[in-house]
């Protein structure tokens, strides 16, 4: 960002990929760099200089609209500057990361529930079972019942974990509103969200694959589109670095370093490296 010509506002330039939901939005929440400060701004999607591209080509979650947004000389009035903060305050304590993670986990839990719904409906409407001549009732097959039972358990477990994380975030919110929120509150929110992520991802991906055990090749019919559940779940599971979050959990329990503290350490190391490179470049001139 840089001051506008009339000094009454600012000009925004840059681009951002994976702008989830922007295709359907009226406003964009963005973070820009102004000198050494980060600035949170609100920009209308129809503002002159804003280009929203529908270039998200993932094989799942097609309707998230996670395309590219470009800003070229976009005027940002002072009233649209939401917050200004220093680089070292970028990750000021909050539960925003945990909230974003909870949103994805809730979507995954919804997919697991949809899998149970579609698998049940598929079985109830069938009159033939594999390996049995003539008409039969797959819903009375003990093996099919077992698969449906497993799917119900996976869906229930995913939902239960999501609700548990939501309760932790509610407690942090209450602490903020009451004025007694501490760093441990925010750490607890991140840790619980990361822990749920490791389990919910596996449970839902298992459910989206196990679904096909209730109907054999018939379940793969394009007309049923049951593969959409796996594609959506797999795409969601890839949105967040689960392996890095797992490592953050290990670092927390082994070395008592919170995810936020670990992130600040990385930021400090990066800043030191950049400063060292600048000094070397200056001395070489």
Residue at 246 is within a domain: yes
Q: Is pLDDT of 10 > 70? A: yes
Residue at 285 is within a domain: no
Q: Are 45 and 129 members of one domain?
A: no
What's the pLDDT score for residue 83? Answer: 82
- pLDDT tens for 66-84 read 889 999 999 999 899 888 8
Count of the separate structural domains present in the chain: 2
Q: Are 78 and 156 members of one domain?
A: no
For the sheet containing 2-3, what is the strand order? Answer: 2-3, 9-19, 67-77, 50-53
Q: Are 182 and 161 members of one domain?
A: yes
pTM over 0.85: no
In this structure, of 61-65, 248-252, 280-284, the range with the lowest mean pLDDT score is: 280-284
* CA 21 – CA 76 distance, rounded (Å): 21
Which percentage of the chain shows pLDDT scores above 90?
53
Q: Are 27 and 156 members of one domain?
A: no
Q: Is pLDDT of 127 > 70? A: no
* Consecutive H or E run containing 112: helix 96-124
Q: Is pLDDT of 138 > 60? A: yes
């Amino acid at each position: 960002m840089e001051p506008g010509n009339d000094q009454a506002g600012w000009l925004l330039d840059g681009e951002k990929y994976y702008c989830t939901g922007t295709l359907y939005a009226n406003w964009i929440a963005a973070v820009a760099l102004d000198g050494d400060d980060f600035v949170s701004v609100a920009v209308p999607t129809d503002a002159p200089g804003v280009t929203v591209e529908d270039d998200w080509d993932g094989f799942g979650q097609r309707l998230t609209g996670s395309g590219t947004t470009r800003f070229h000389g976009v005027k940002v009035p002072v009233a649209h500057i939401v917050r200004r903060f220093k680089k070292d305050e970028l990750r000021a304590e909050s539960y925003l990361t945990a909230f974003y993670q909870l949103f994805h986990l809730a979507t995954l839990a919804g997919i697991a529930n949809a899998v149970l719904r579609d698998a049940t409906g598929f079985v109830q409407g069938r009159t033939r079972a594999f390996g049995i001549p003539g008409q039969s009732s797959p819903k009375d097959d003990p093996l099919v019942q077992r698969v449906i039972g497993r799917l119900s358990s996976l869906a229930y477990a995913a939902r239960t974990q999501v609700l548990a994380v939501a309760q932790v975030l509610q407690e942090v919110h209450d602490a903020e509103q009451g004025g007694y929120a501490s760093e441990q509150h925010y750490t607890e929110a991140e840790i619980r969200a990361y822990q749920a992520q490791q389990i919910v991802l596996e449970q839902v991906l298992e459910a989206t694959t196990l679904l096909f055990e209730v109907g054999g090749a018939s379940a793969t019919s394009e007309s049923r589109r049951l593969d959409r559940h796996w594609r959506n779940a797999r795409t969601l599971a890839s949105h967040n670095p689960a392996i890095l979050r797992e490592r953050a959990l290990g670092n927390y329990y082994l070395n008592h370093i919170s995810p936020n503290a670990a992130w600040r350490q990385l930021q400090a190391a990066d800043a030191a490296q950049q400063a060292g490179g600048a000094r070397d470049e200056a001395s070489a001139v």
